[in-house]
Amino acid sequence: MPYAPYSRSCMSQKDMFLRACRCQPVERVPVWIMRQAGRYLPEYQALRQHYSFLELCKTPELAAEVSLQPFRCLGVDAIIVFSDILVVAEAMGLELRVPDSGPVLPDPIRDQRGIDRLRDFDPLEATPFVSQAISLLCHEAGPGVPALGFAAAPWTLACYMVEGSVRGELKRVKRMLYAAPDLLRSLLDRIARATARYLHAQLDAGAAAVQIFDTWAGELSAEQYEGFALPATQMLIQELNAGDAPVILYARGASHLVHPMARAGANVLSVDWRTDLSATREILGLGVALQGNVDPAALLASPEVAGRAAKRAIELTGGIGHILNLGHGILPDTPVENAQAFVAAGKSVSLTAVSAARGEM
Amino acid sequence: MPYAPYSRSCMSQKDMFLRACRCQPVERVPVWIMRQAGRYLPEYQALRQHYSFLELCKTPELAAEVSLQPFRCLGVDAIIVFSDILVVAEAMGLELRVPDSGPVLPDPIRDQRGIDRLRDFDPLEATPFVSQAISLLCHEAGPGVPALGFAAAPWTLACYMVEGSVRGELKRVKRMLYAAPDLLRSLLDRIARATARYLHAQLDAGAAAVQIFDTWAGELSAEQYEGFALPATQMLIQELNAGDAPVILYARGASHLVHPMARAGANVLSVDWRTDLSATREILGLGVALQGNVDPAALLASPEVAGRAAKRAIELTGGIGHILNLGHGILPDTPVENAQAFVAAGKSVSLTAVSAARGEM
């Protein structure tokens, strides 16, 4: 029997995850689900009877527990810390409220004065609960399971900080982009530097990788992305200086941004169902891994549909440099058994079989 | 002086519009604005003090008057009839309510029974007000101005008919796509046939062209678009049998769908700011004209920014086979003077000058 450094017996989920991020061979594609911890899970709903959303985020024991729930009940390969991207906005000095209708920053930024009031916070003082939750969940899950930290990309956090809440059009932040581009750039710059420190603290606490959510990047044209979102994301990733830890960059509805996103400095691009995995792999090659990209709505239908969607995504990349995930967060109405079927189907695909199906063996 | 069939003196706005739709030379790019009639205009707001939204739609004299307002105050080259895409859903038998928060179909379609209850309506009986409004506005504006009819594409109308109202994710219609694809296809089929008759009545009433709004196409992957939205749109365009009248197909956030959309049978693709005009022209050639694609947010900033955006769009197509427009409807908060500047700047571009700037002279 040949030497097999990635055989089932000796490769931990963390090794597998990190190897996939680096486009190195793995025996199967690692899988997790964006928003895997949350309101579609009965265990989570039960906790929410007793605690508010922000109490869960800010109590390390609870945040760690909520983070671990999907690891236990879905069997995912990575545990993302339970938190919210707006924690950074609050740490920078903006009031944050999270009613059931979604998060709101009631005193958003509209001018230079708003930017001047922002704080350059120390994560260990302002957001210690995030680091502590990561430490706790790492301890609980053991060294073989990758914990993931995360934050919003500068453009996406700027959307919330300028709009106050984001529903539909990004009118105010877009107006700033057109009417006061330097003001927006200085806000993006402040966010990028703060977020670099914030994510670094998560790596220090034990995160194996970090994901940067640029949820609203898809609202920008390529020209706008390259003029605003990209330089700020590049600065964030450079300042973060993640060392060996992979950086995953997510964007929604951003098939037109694949080229510039690949220049952000991230190891992995996380794309949605509108970005074709095989075409993107052909364009970008193996210099960047891909994460995604199943339509979350596929998990509303049935375990069979969810499982088929998982297998189809893996077929499209051949399982090389691929982390199976959804193209956006799991929907609140998703039946847990469909999410379980998605994960199980993804894990059942042997990459030898995929290679054979693609005629590569 | 050489014979100039499209000189300023003898070419009407209608000739110019129709020639642009067919990628024939014109002296300047025609311009209009999606949702050009509506709540950003004080004249419209004044009428809304006295009439509900649906009263305006369903009273031909009022609908014609509202349609003509932007022609008078912005100087646009085409007049789209004031109406709503959900008029077809109502004519097919679904109750329609339009509170200020947006249109709602309180009894949406969830199963075969819902589809069975739909009516195959006769537009002259069920929606005579649309045809009458078009006749009136054509009479008022004169034969040299193109009137535009419109309807939703089958997929987009199905989104509303299944969801009831669309805010954010399309959970129910997507679940139907995955769990009951044949049910969705039969709904799309019913809508396509009804819409073909509906649009034909608008052409009969005097519309020079029709636009099909597939606002929610961008939520689909290319595979989903080709499996559901595209065949229904193709059937609609085929059944419509528009003769010489151009068909414009609009989609939002659909840069990943440019190839299949070009196969729908439309003369013009209307794209948004995330679809690069020059790259799309290069891909599709001059077999299909392009409409768009300025970011509506550019019109929030200032007359200068709005004017620059108009000129930049024309530069990208060289003005050939191009109808200047926004990439989505004008935003309610848009200052009228910015919309005027957008139109004026677009009309000021001499195509000889553009060709020279591109080094083609």
pLDDT digits (tens, 9 = 90+) for B8-26: 557 999 999 999 999 999 9
Complex ipTM: 0.94
Separation of alpha carbons B346 and B274, rounded Å: 20
Q: Is residue B157 part of a domain?
A: yes
Q: Is B39 a catalytic residue?
A: yes
Q: Quick check: B256 and A273 CB within 8 A?
A: no
pLDDT at residue A145 is higher than 90: yes
pLDDT at residue A15 is higher than 80: yes
Q: Is residue B137 part of a domain?
A: yes
| Chains A, B: CB pairs < 8 Å | 87
Q: How far lies A31's CA from each of A143, A344, B303, in Å?
A: 18, 9, 49
Looking up tokens 């990733």 gives A237
Separation of alpha carbons A146 and A141, rounded Å: 9
Residues of B in contact with A255 (CB under 8 A): 255-256
Separation of alpha carbons B322 and B30, rounded Å: 8
pTM exceeds 0.90: yes
- Structure-token pair, residue A85: 């991207």
Task: Quote the pLDDT of residue B355.
Answer: 64
If you compute the radius of gyration of chain A from its CA atoms, what whole number of angstroms results? Answer: 20
Q: Is residue B3 part of a domain?
A: no
Low-confidence ranges of chain B (pLDDT < 70): 1-9, 353-361
Q: Is A160 a catalytic residue?
A: yes
Residues of B in contact with A175 (CB under 8 A): 297, 300-301
Closest residue in A to B181 (Cα) is: A301
Q: Is residue A158 part of a domain?
A: yes
Closest residue in A to B273 (Cα) is: A221
SS3 B88: helix
Query: Minimal Cα–Cα distance from B152 to chain A, Å?
Result: 20
Q: Is residue B6 part of a domain?
A: no
Separation of alpha carbons B28 and B345, rounded Å: 11
Catalytic-role residue among A19, A28, A35, A185:
A35
Per the structure, the complete domain to which residue A343 belongs is given by 13-357
Closest residue in A to B219 (Cα) is: A274
- Structure-token pair, residue B220: 């689909």
- Please state the rounded mean pLDDT for residues A264-284: 97
Task: Quote the pLDDT of residue B90.
Answer: 98
Give the number of other Cβ atoms within 10 Å of residue A150's Cβ: 22
What tens digit of pLDDT does each residue of A160-185 get?
999 999 877 899 999 999 999 999 99
Separation of alpha carbons B173 and B169, rounded Å: 10
Separation of alpha carbons B72 and A46, rounded Å: 60
Give me the residue from B175, B221, B275 closest to A256, CB to CB.
Answer: B275
The number of distinct structural domains making up chain B is: 1
Q: Is residue B37 part of a domain?
A: yes
Q: Collect all residues from B whose CB is shorter than 8 A from any CB in A.
A: 167-171, 174-175, 177-179, 218-222, 224, 253, 255-256, 273-276, 295-298, 300-302, 305, 331, 333
Q: Is residue A8 part of a domain?
A: no
Cα B214 from chain centroid (whole Å):
9
pLDDT at residue A3 is higher than 70: no
The amino acid at A57: C
Task: Quote the pLDDT of residue A2.
Answer: 41
Give me the residue from A255, A273, A333 closest to B171, CB to CB.
Answer: A333
Query: Minimal Cα–Cα distance from A305 to chain B, Å?
Result: 7
User: What is the band of A7 on the pLDDT scale with cuts at 50, 70, 90?
Assistant: very low
Task: Quote the pLDDT of residue B76.
Answer: 98
Q: What is the CATH number of the domain that holds B110?
A: 3.20.20.210
Task: Quote the pLDDT of residue A358.
Answer: 62
Give me the residue from A169, A275, A305 closest to B178, CB to CB.
Answer: A305
Mean pLDDT, chain A, integer: 95
- Please state the rounded mean pLDDT for residues A259-279: 98
Residues of A in contact with B168 (CB under 8 A): 167
Task: Quote the pLDDT of residue A32.
Answer: 98
User: Helix H segments across A49-120?
Assistant: 53-58, 60-74, 87-91, 112-116
Residues of A in contact with B301 (CB under 8 A): 175, 178-179
Q: Is residue B73 part of a domain?
A: yes
Task: Report residue B25: phi and psi, to 5°.
Answer: -60, 140
Q: Are A260 and A281 in contact (CB under 8 A)?
A: no
Q: Is A48 a catalytic residue?
A: yes
